[in-house]
Chain A
């Protein structure tokens, strides 16, 4: 539930963080893949709190592999409706994924605790 708060914190902090040469702020979220663009290497994830829904747009570095059950998958393996756990950080061009783990499908659920 604090995910949106932390994402916004990520958006607000970079200037101060840059001034102190600290590592870029990072956070994680869990949500459903909305869109995947393997060519542009972007993933959009739907998340939110109650009926206040948000889409988080992430860039995916070329070297990043999606993990699922310990296996590494190409970005093309991700489908809309996949439930993913993502860690990410802020870069000048936007949010960048550090890790993407596929943990289930919305149709099947993935347990009560995110």
Chain B
């Protein structure tokens, strides 16, 4: 073979290997254009930024950048930070049962403050409202693949809803809704309708970074910030940078499922047999999207994005229509990247997490617990491939 031909052959072979290579955590979606990949790279720089008070951080915040929490094993992954959310739940009262304490700086009560706010108010964190009826711990979700979840049509999610359990399987998923009536899907209680709002809201609620969509700072328990504690001009992140950040998160590929061993294959069968897919729907299909890589794709999310009653032991805060015991089915894609489980990290193993399922999930949990030990281990082995 001539040298030029050899070069071409090697190049083609490498390209073929590259095309077939499974996306690694942190990779962009396959099939992006060069311009989209550029946008992804620019957005990663924003995501990985560390903010300071001079560049907009705080005065109230939980983290000094997206990556401080979403760091393991890559940007967009999970982390060990645990946040504090609080709301007030008054069922049977004259108003809405859930008060998100929006008038008092909630439901995210930031755990850190800048030196200037500390000096002005002598506080180290935002005090939780005295009106809160519950305080919840919240871990960092893996956000890899969230662009695909955003592209799932509402109609697909609603097709799994069965609020009155008409099929009698004991599972009655129902949708949450944002305050303007749109279907929610992001967040542990599925309050947030779109990925864009999830990102822009996090800039404000998690980092105290104002953006064109949220140009006013968080308050301290509903009270305005003391003068001089917020030196950076608003918006602290430009529209361009916000768009880049959104592109990065949107175009992050979901972690590719790992090759199934024979044990994991048995575990997948057990997963189906005990009824986990009643909520952890193995795959959702996206709809139309201006981004070809998100359009009409199957995403192995293992969620229905609906609320389910998980029983009184897990109950904490309400949010939107979600009662304290209702949680959105946690997507299992990327669960292998986590070392603690459930919304508040109370489960240290996947087996513990399953044992803590209750309410609508009591049936599948009991069937899991009734499996022979080998089948239980196989089911966990299957989950560790996701």
Contact = CB atoms under 8 A, between A and B. Distances in A.
A109 B183 contact: yes
Contacts of A107: 177, 321
Contact of A1 (B107, B154, B196, B202): B196
B90 to A, nearest CB: 11
A53 B102 contact: yes
Interface string B317-330: 00011000000000
Given A34-B96, A106-B320, A112-B154, A47 B214 contact: no
Contacts of B106: 53
Contact of A52 (B96, B193, B201, B321): B201
Interface residues of B, number: 40
B185 to A, nearest CB: 11
B249 to A, nearest CB: 12
A114 interface: yes
B198 A8 contact: no
Contacts of A55: 102-103
A109 B177 contact: yes
Contacts of B212: 2, 5
B228 interface: no
Interface in A1-38: 1-2, 4-5, 7-8, 30-32, 34-35
A112 B178 CA distance: 10
Contacts of A7: 216
Contacts, number: 120
Band of interface residues on A: 35 or more
Contacts of B197: 1, 49-50
A93 interface: no
Contacts of B191: 51
B200 A106 contact: no
A17 to B, nearest CB: 18
B180 A49 contact: no
Contact of B179 (A4, A8, A32, A112): A32
Interface in A46-98: 46-55, 80-81, 83
Nearest to A106: B177
Contact of B100 (A4, A46, A81, A111): A46
Interface of B: 94-96, 99-100, 102-103, 106-108, 154, 175, 177, 179-183, 186-187, 191-193, 196-202, 204-205, 212-216, 218, 320-321
Given A50-B202, A106-B181, A108-B181, 4 more contacts: A30-B180, A34-B103, A111-B182, A114-B182
